[in-house]
Amino acid sequence: MMQFTTFTYPIFKQSIEDYHQKNDVDAKMQNPYVEKSIEYYLYLKNWIDTVQWHLEDIIRDPEIDPKKALDIKRRIDRSNQERTDIVELIDSYFYEKYQSTIYDKAATFNTESPAWAVDRLSILALKIYHMQQETLRKDINDEHRSTCREKLAVLLEQQQDLSMAIDQLLADIKSGKKYMKVYKQMKMYNDPNLNPVLYRKK
């Protein structure tokens, strides 16, 4: 049976490569997977991460117009909320998949849910892609290229380790060694009823 990350990571790479066909934060996503399938959500998750990665680049331009910077900051805030929503959908997929699990008496919790670990794998895929691009630049010296190659090697090792950890966590949940429990994220700053700056204006 294929490990979950063996199936997941190519979807992340596909999303990243598709984005860079136009390399435009306003480009419309063309998700190739069936809507509401786990593949669809994984592709969407990484697309959100990829767009936000480039928004974070843009907003760090020291000569950016303050109005544009504020607009991007608010867009990043919305993106973070979308990212959280998709992570929770992916966790719901796992929860439903393993809801019939009979847990061992000695079963323990993990420090994070499977989908939040998958979230880190999505970000790692972006780091690997962009570090790889750094090693291919024509306008850098050998020292910079060597440094980037060393960092890329570490990132690739991290990708292997994280993938193994995610697959082991899912195996432990399936066998009843780990509990699967989902907490809905409570982002207070986006909620007009919880952010004091917002509710004091009512």
**Average pLDDT per run of 10 along the chain, which is 202 residues long?**
92 98 97 97 98 97 96 95 94 93 92 95 98 95 96 98 97 94 65 61 66
What's the rounded Cα separation, in Å, for the pair 158 and 172? 21
The per-residue pLDDT for 40 is 98
Q: What is the pLDDT of residue 2?
A: 80
Q: What pLDDT score was predicted for residue 202?
A: 64
Closest CA to 114 of 50, 183, 46, 63: 183
User: What CA–CA distance (Å, rounded) separates 93 from 95?
Assistant: 6
Residue carrying the six token digits 């009823």? 193
